[in-house]
Structure 1
Amino acid sequence: MAIASNDDVVRVRQVVRAAAAAAGLSLVDQTKIVTAASELARNTFIYGGGGSVRVERAVSERGRAGVRIVFTDEGPGIPDVDQALTEGWTSGSGLGLGLSGARRLSDEFTLETQVGKGTTVTVTKWTR
């Protein structure tokens, strides 16, 4: 699914909520992963210049079910990952909750970035 507008960010939230419910996540965990996805979709659109998201609805591992979401852009990349993951740090006018907040709200978080090439962020939330 493409992320090229604010409307797409809204659509990402809707798709992730449906996927999280289908995976059997609690309402609290659904809210956490939807919030993380919303922040990452916004980052993809604003800082990555747009990109795409892939929602894997029914992942399972070690007897757990969950939802995995992969955000990819071909934007400028992140020159200082440690700084970008610092709680409260922002490169723009935001609250600084994007990457660090998404990491905190997810059970698994990976970030791959290359300056001048783009960024891929993967988050996973598992059932309890």
Structure 2
Amino acid sequence: MTVNQSFHQKQVNLECEGDIVEVRKAVRIAAQEIGFGVTDTTRIVTAASELARNVHRFAGTGLMTLESTRNTEHKGITLIFTDNGPGIADVDQAMELGFTTGGGLGLGLPGAKRLMDEMKLESKPGQGTRICISKWLS
């Protein structure tokens, strides 16, 4: 059994577009402190930026929780994005490359998944969305 333990946590409220920059800063600092190299740090920051932008665009407000985590084999970073927005009607469709309801390129959710090691998405129409992404040090 793998047990995750959080040893550092930070939260960033997503209330305006400027908060996306704060998410990027917090994630970059934490990833570097954990020991991720430049390439993986860039991947993590890019995924976080995409998800923060989605929260801002579709829900208006939300929260990003950043956790430095460790399991029995590795240490890593977990980012949890939550909002009380309209939710995602069809999660499978939303994860398809190129699908969009917001007029963008449809790369946000599938792109974030590709950049990270793990992604869990929970959403109910009218109740909001919770996305948890993790990256582990090799």
Q: TM bucket by the smaller chain?
A: over 0.9
Judge conservation of contact 1:73–1:118 (CA < 8 Å) in 2.
yes
**Local SS of the residue matching 1:52:** strand
1:19 lines up with 2:30 in the alignment: yes
Gaps of 5+ in 2: 1-11
Q: How many residues align?
A: 127
Larger Rg: 1 or 2?
2
Determine the C-alpha separation between the residues in 2 that align with 1:64 and 1:17.
19
Q: In structure 2, what is the equivalent of residue 85 of structure 1?
A: 95
1:107 lines up with 2:117 in the alignment: yes
Shift of 1:63: 2.2
Give 4+ residue runs of structure 1 displaced > 2 Å after superposition. none
Q: In structure 2, what is the equivalent of residue 39 of structure 1?
A: 50
**Local SS of the residue matching 1:91:** coil
Shift of 1:62: 2.5
Match of 1:18, as an amino acid? I
1:62 lines up with 2:62 in the alignment: no
Report the identity percentage.
47
Match of 2:51, as an amino acid? L
Gaps of 5+ in 1: none
The alignment yields a C-alpha RMSD, in angstroms, of 0.8
**Local SS of the residue matching 1:70:** strand
Match of 1:101, as an amino acid? G
Residue among 100, 120, 128 paired with 2:130: 120
Determine the C-alpha separation between the residues in 2 that align with 1:14 and 1:88.
28
Match of 2:88, as an amino acid? I
Q: In structure 1, what is the equivalent of residue 106 of structure 2?
A: 96
**Local SS of the residue matching 2:97:** coil
Determine the C-alpha separation between the residues in 2 that align with 1:49 and 1:5.
8
Match of 1:108, as an amino acid? E
